[in-house]
Structure 1
Amino acid sequence: MIKPIITDTHQLQQPSRLASRADLPLATDLKDTLTAHRDACVGMAANMIGVHKRVIIAQLGPLPVVMFNPTLTSKAQPYPVKEGCLSLTGQRPTTRYKRITVDFFNEHWQRQQLTLTDFAAEIVQHELDHCQGILI
């Protein structure tokens, strides 16, 4: 179901709690909402649709990837960048890493690991910040 996007910074700055198997239906809401905003958005975190659980979605190629309890396990090559956010207006400077590795559970609650580079890595880092309550 398409959910409204949260823009209240106080709500967005609350750290998210760990997700469980009971949260698997969030994948559908995140996919539907990301699809509805595909012209302006390539990723989102569950707190952006009002659910404070560690769940993110990132458009990594033709299909979106949903990650439950994602954890950044390595990062390399920092660089400065300006990013926008569907929940905020304008762009803001931040530091991202060119290469990252992230561990997570997929939509079947199977443990996964991805190594990402460049823009895909940037998307996931932005959404991981959302899980921590960090706004750019």
Structure 2
Amino acid sequence: MIRPIMKSTLILSRPSAPATAQDASVAQDLLDTFAANRRGCAGMAANMIGILKRIIVVDCEGEALLMYNPVIESSSNPYETEEGCLSLEGLRPATRYRNITVLYEDENFSPRKRSFSGYTAQIIQHEIDHCDGVVI
């Protein structure tokens, strides 16, 4: 189901709880909402649809990559940038890392470890910030 985009910084600034297998319907709603907004965003976190769970979806080389409970294990090569957000107006400054390694669970809740670089790494960092209640 496509859900409305959350605009409240009160909700967006709250840290999200770990996701469980019972949150599969939330993940599906997030994927549906992401697909409906794909022209205007490169990633989404569950709090952007009003659900405080650690679930993100990002555009990874043209495919939607779903991650449950993502955590950045390592990062390197910091840089300064400006980012927009579907939930917020305007651009905001952010420090990001060109290379990251992420621990997460896939759609079957199997543990994964994967490295990302460039724009995909930036998107993932932005969405993990959402999970942590960081408003960019």
Structure-1-length-normalised TM-score: 0.98
CA distance, structure 2, for counterparts of residue 114 and residue 42 of structure 1: 19
Question: What's the CA shift for 1:26?
Answer: 2.0
Deviation at 1:25, TM superposition (A): 2.0
Alignment-derived partner of residue 53 in structure 1: 53
* Native 8 Å contact 2:27 2:46 kept in 1: no
| Structure 1 residue 62: Cα displacement | 2.3
- List gaps (5 residues or longer) in structure 2: none
Separation of aligned partners in 1, 2:25 and 2:111: 17
> Are 2:41 and 1:41 equivalent residues in the alignment?
yes
- How many percent identity over aligned positions? 45
Tell me the TM-score normalised to structure 2 length.
Answer: 0.98
What is the distance in 2 between the residues matched to 1:126 and 1:57?
11
| Structure 2 residue 93 is matched with structure 1 residue 93 | yes
For structure 1, list consecutive stretches of 5 or more residues without a partner in the other structure: none
What does residue 24 of structure 1 align with?
Answer: 24
Q: How many residue pairs were aligned? A: 136
Whole-Å Cα distance in 2 between the matches of residues 24 and 31 of structure 1? 10
Partner of 2:111: 111
Name 2:4's counterpart in structure 1. 4
Q: Report SS of the residue matched to 2:38.
A: coil
AA matched with 1:61: E
Match of 1:134 in 2: 134
- Classify the secondary structure of the residue corresponding to 2:71: strand
How many Å apart are 1:96 and its aligned residue?
0.1
1:64 maps to 64
- 1:13 matched to 2:17? The reply is no
Give the superposition deviation at 1:27. Answer: 2.1
Residues in 2 aligned to 1:109 and 1:87: alpha-carbon distance in whole angstroms: 27
- Residue 84 of structure 2 contacts residue 92 of structure 2 at CA under 8 Å; is this kept in 1? yes
Separation in structure 1 between the aligned mates of residue 25 and residue 8 of structure 2, nearest angstrom: 24
